Chains A and B, each alone.
Chain A
Amino acid sequence: DTAVSQTPKYLVTQMGNDKSIKCEQNLGHDTMYWYKQDSKKFLKIMFSYNNKELIINETVPNRFSPKSPDKAHLNLHINSLELGDSAVYFCASSPGENHHGYTFGSGTRLTVV
């Protein structure tokens, strides 16, 4: 059973398109996150949700809109895709307390052409 699952694994799309990435966790965690990993492997937080409520929004362009229909799901919709959006996007979850690491999904490699 996959703990944190993301779909799709790969996404190739043209500039200007709109796309969505879905994430689901079956760990019963309260908090979910979106991280972006650039070509140099730097992992940077984008958003966090705790029990469907947006907690962290790290100065991400408005073209990115997360949605959490319930605490097990966190989706990411991206409008008007740009070349610079090409990266690997990781979903993660945690119990929400400080002394726990995060469990990451397998990632979505987004390529904008």
Chain B
Amino acid sequence: QKEVEQNSGPLSVPEGAIASLNCTYSDRGSQSFFWYRQYSGKSPELIMSIYSNGDKEDGRFTAQLNKASQYVSLLIRDSQPSDSATYLCAVNAATGANSKLTFGKGITLSVRP
């Protein structure tokens, strides 16, 4: 069973702080990695994707991938109350038509004003 694990939450940080969200995956063949943000009552929204080891930055978001450790993380700098949401880690091990995103259970982030 291919699994994606996220550290248990909820996570609460003060406004302006760095929020660090972590995720591990079991399938070493996984090739692409995604972070989705889901506001309450809304659909998941893709915010970051990463495919190679190292860091990828997009605005206040940085995704980090370490395939040797089977670990992917998301850092949110200068956290804002509008960042309060559930963050879902997703991993894709298959290719082409067999593509299948496996999700972690999500972590709820609360940013305190």
Contact partner of B90 (CB less than 8 A), chosen from A48, A51, A101, A107, is A101
Band of interface residues on B: 20 to 34
**Which parts of B55-113 form the interface with A (CB within 8 Å)?**
86, 88, 90, 92, 94-103, 105-106
User: Contacts A41-B105, A45-B102; is A99 near B42 (CB within 8 Å)?
Assistant: no
Q: Can you sample 25 A-B contacts with CB below 8 Å?
A: A30-B97, A41-B38, A41-B86, A42-B105, A43-B88, A44-B103, A50-B97, A51-B97, A94-B99, A96-B97, A97-B95, A97-B99, A98-B32, A98-B95, A98-B96, A98-B99, A99-B32, A99-B51, A101-B34, A101-B49, A101-B90, A101-B101, A104-B43, A104-B44, A104-B45
Q: Give the B-binding residues of A (Cβ under 8 A).
A: 30-31, 40-45, 48, 50-51, 53, 55-56, 90, 94, 96-107
Residues from chain B with a CB closer than 8 A to the CB of A53 are: 97
A43 lies within 8 A of B97 (CB): no
Contact partner of B31 (CB less than 8 A), chosen from A42, A50, A98, A101, is A98
Closest to A109 in B: B41
- Judge if B17 is at the interface, Cβ distance under 8 Å: no
Residues from chain A with a CB closer than 8 A to the CB of B36 are: 101
A107 lies within 8 A of B103 (CB): no
B106 lies within 8 A of A41 (CB): yes
